[in-house]
Amino acid sequence: MRALLCDRFGPPEDVRVADIPAPAAIDPHAVVLAVEYASVSHATGLMVAGRYQTRPPLPFVPGTEAVGRVVACGSAVTRLRPGDRVVAIADWGCFAEQVCLPEYTVYPIPDAVDALQALPVPLSYGTAYCGLVWRCALQPGETVLVLGAGAGVGLAAVEIARELGAQVIACASTEAKRAEALRRGAAHALAPEDLAAAVKRVTGGRGADVVVDPVGGDLFDQSLRAAAANARLLSVGFASGRIPQAPLNLLLVKNLTLHGFFVGRYIGWTPANERAQHAPALQAVMQTLLAWASAGKIRPTVSKVYPMTGLAGALHALEARQVVGKVAIKIQETEPCTTTPAAGPQSS
Q: Note whether 28 and 54 are same-domain residues.
A: yes
The residues with which 17 forms a beta bridge, in sequence order, are 4
Q: Note whether 60 and 76 are same-domain residues.
A: yes
Q: What is the DSSP string of 204-250?
A: TT--EEEEEESS-HHHHHHHHHHEEEEEEEEE---TTS------HHH
Is residue 267 domain-resident?
A: no
- The CA distance from 124 to 194, in Å, is 27
- The CA distance from 178 to 25, in Å, is 48
pLDDT score recorded for residue 340: 40
Per-residue pLDDT reduced to its tens digit, 217-244: 999 999 999 999 999 999 998 888 789 8
- The CA distance from 147 to 217, in Å, is 11
Q: Note whether 100 and 167 are same-domain residues.
A: no
pLDDT score recorded for residue 348: 32
- The CA distance from 250 to 71, in Å, is 53
> Could you tell me where the DSSP H helices lie in 96-173?
115-118, 126-130, 152-163
pLDDT score recorded for residue 239: 81
Q: Note whether 79 and 165 are same-domain residues.
A: no
Q: What is the DSSP string of 14-32?
A: G-EEEE-PPP-S--TTEEE
Count of residues in the chain: 348
Is residue 98 domain-resident?
A: yes
Asked if 253 and 227 count as a contact pair (C-beta separation under 8 A), the reply is: no
Assign 25 a pLDDT band (cuts: 50, 70, 90): low
pLDDT score recorded for residue 28: 95
Is residue 269 domain-resident?
A: no
Q: Note whether 197 and 103 are same-domain residues.
A: no
CATH number at residue 132: 3.90.180.10
pLDDT score recorded for residue 266: 94
Mean pLDDT of 25-31: 88
Asked if 36 and 67 count as a contact pair (C-beta separation under 8 A), the reply is: yes
Per-residue pLDDT reduced to its tens digit, 178-232: 999 999 999 999 999 999 999 999 999 999 999 999 999 999 999 999 999 999 9
Is residue 348 domain-resident?
A: no
- The CA distance from 347 to 66, in Å, is 12
Domain holding 39, by residue range, is 2-120+274-330
pLDDT score recorded for residue 321: 79
